[in-house]
Amino acid sequence: MTDKYDLLVIGGGSGGLAAAQRAAEYGAKVAVVEGGRLGGTCVNVGCVPKKVMWTAASLAHSLHHAADYGFNIELKSYDWGGFKTRRDAYITRLNGIYARNLSNKSVEHLDGWASFTGPNEVKVGERQLVADKILVATGGRPWVPDIPGAGLGIDSDGFFALEAQPKKVALIGSGYIAVELAGVLRGLGSEVHVLVRKDSVLRSFDEMLQKAAIEALEASGVVLHFHAAPNALEQTTAGISVHSAEGQQFEGFDTVIWATGREANIDGLNVSAAGIKTAANNAIPVDDYQCTNVPHIFAVGDVTGRAQLTPVAIAAGRRLSDRVFNGMTGRKLEYHTIPTVVFTHPPTGTVGLTEAQARTEHGAAVKVYRTRFTPMFYALSEERGFCEMKLVVVGDDERIVGCHIFGEGADEMLQGFAVAIRMGATKQNFDDTVAIHPTGAEELVTMR
C-alpha cells in the first residue's frame, strides 16, 4: 500500500518541523520522517544544550566575582555528571513536546529513515510514500578531516555525550563551536587549548569582534595556538598528542574535540533517484524560494549550506508553507541583515555588514562609530572586563548597515537593534533615542 501526502517532510529538525506544522495549519495532509530524536541538531546537540552549558559557565564566572559584592562563597567542586543528567532530562522533555505538537496538528510522525525511490516517491522501512511536495530538511553533521588518528578525537555531538569533565582538552577549529566550547570548558575549570589553522578566530565576523574574542579567551586562561593545522593524532602514555603540518606537537590531552565545520547530512537519502543536484559538502542548492532543481522538491536549513542558523531554518520553512499552501505569492526569506550571536564569554553579537564588507560595497561612503568601556559588573572588582561596540554607517544620512557588539548582554540587546537596522534606521535615529541608564545598551545610542 502506498501512502499519499500533500507535503512530505524529510527531517524532524527546526526547519522541517516549522514547515510541517505551518502547512498542516492550512489544511495540508503532512507527514514528517525522522529516525532520530525530534528537534534536530539545535535541540539535541546544538543550541539548546550548548546554551544550558554556557549558563553553567556564566554562573561560575559570577560566583568568582561574588566576593566583590560582599558574598563569602567557597566553590568546592563542579558536579558534571549530575548536571549532565538534568540537562539530558530537559532535552528529553523537549523531544516529547515536539512529538505532542505534531500530534496536536495532525501531522504524522514516521519513525525511520527516508530514501528517495523517484521524484515523488520515498521509502521509509517497508512503507512507500508519495507526495505532491517534498521538503528536504535533514540538517548537517560535524565534519572531521581524514587524517591519521582522527578517530581519537570526538566531534561536537560527542561533546554532549561526555560523562565526565575533561581535565585537559584540545579544541581544533576557529568558528562558533570551537570558541563556544572553549569558553564553557574553561569556565568550568578545564585546561583548554584551541588549535587554529590560520591567524584568527571567527574569521567571517568583523575584525573588532575577532580581536575581542581572542582577548577574552586568553584573559580567561584559554591557550590559543595559531598557524597550527593538525595532520595527525596519536595516543601516547601521556594522553593524546596532536601533530601539526607546521611541525608542532601538542601533548597530554585526555580529550580532543573536532570543531572543523559541518557538512550536509544526506547519506542514505539517495537524492540522485529524485534527480536532486548537490554542491560542495553535499549541500542541496536552492533558489530564493527554497526550490531545488526539481520543481516540487524544496530544501531548508543547514542541508542547503546557507546561513546555518536555527531561526533561519524556521523562518524559511514557515515562509515556504505560507507560499505553497496558503497562496501567499512571493513569500520568501530574505537572506540579509540576519542577526546572530556566538555564545562566547561574554557573548559576541552581530547584524549586517562588517566594516570590511561595507567598505568593499560602499567605499568612501562608509563611516564607523566605535566604543570600548568597562561594564558596571566590574565596578567593584580588581579584574577589568570589557565591552566593545561598533556601528557601521553609509551615506550622508548615515544609514546603519552593521552593528557589532562584544560584551555582557550582547545576546539580549542585539535583537531589538536588529529590528531597527532592518527597518533602515540611521545614526540620527539612534542618537534621538533616549538612553536607558545605567546599561551597556545605552552606549549604542550615545556614540560620537
Q: Which domains does the chain have, with CATH numbers?
A: 2-142+263-326 (3.50.50.60), 150-260 (3.50.50.60), 346-445 (3.30.390.30)
Helix (H) and strand (E) counts in the chain: 11, 21
Task: Return the active site residues.
Answer: 437
Q: How many whole angstroms separate alpha carbon 16 and alpha carbon 24? A: 12
Q: Which residue has the cell 542558523?
A: 309
For residue 76, the model assigns a pLDDT of 87
For residue 280, the model assigns a pLDDT of 84
The sign of the CA dihedral 117, 118, 121, 122 is positive
> What end-to-end distance do the CA atoms of the chain give, in Å?
70
Q: How many whole angstroms separate alpha carbon 406 and alpha carbon 350? A: 9
For residues 145 and 260, the answer to whether their CB atoms sit within 8 Å is: yes
Q: How many whole angstroms separate alpha carbon 175 and alpha carbon 177? A: 6
What pLDDT digit, counting tens, does each position of 223-267 carry? 999 999 999 999 999 999 999 999 999 999 999 999 999 999 999
The sign of the CA dihedral 359, 362, 363, 366 is negative
For residue 163, the model assigns a pLDDT of 97
For residue 330, the model assigns a pLDDT of 97
The C-alpha R_g of the chain, in whole angstroms, comes to 24
Burial class (CB in 10 A: 0-12, 13-18, 19+), 82: exposed
Does the N-terminal peptide bond of residue 142 adopt cis geometry, omega within 30 degrees of 0?
no
Give the side-chain half-sphere CA count within 13 A for 88. 11
Long-range pairs, 280-284, Cβ under 8 A, ≥24: 280/305, 281/143, 281/305, 284/136
Predicted TM-score (pTM) of the model is: 0.96
Provide the 3-class DSSP secondary structure of residue 170: strand
DSSP 291: B
Does the N-terminal peptide bond of residue 145 adopt cis geometry, omega within 30 degrees of 0?
no
Burial class (CB in 10 A: 0-12, 13-18, 19+), 417: buried
Give the side-chain half-sphere CA count within 13 A for 338. 16
Q: How many whole angstroms separate alpha carbon 298 and alpha carbon 57? A: 39
Give the side-chain half-sphere CA count within 13 A for 82. 4
Q: How many whole angstroms separate alpha carbon 184 and alpha carbon 60? A: 10
For residue 1, the model assigns a pLDDT of 54
DSSP per residue, 306-326: SS--HHHHHHHHHHHHHHHHH
pLDDT means over runs of 10, the chain (448 residues): 90 98 98 98 97 98 95 92 98 98 97 97 96 98 97 97 98 98 98 98 98 98 98 97 97 98 96 96 96 98 97 98 98 97 98 98 98 97 95 98 98 97 98 98 97
Looking at 65-112, list the stretches that DSSP marks H as alpha helix, in order from N- to C-terminal side. Answer: 80-104
For residue 75, the model assigns a pLDDT of 84
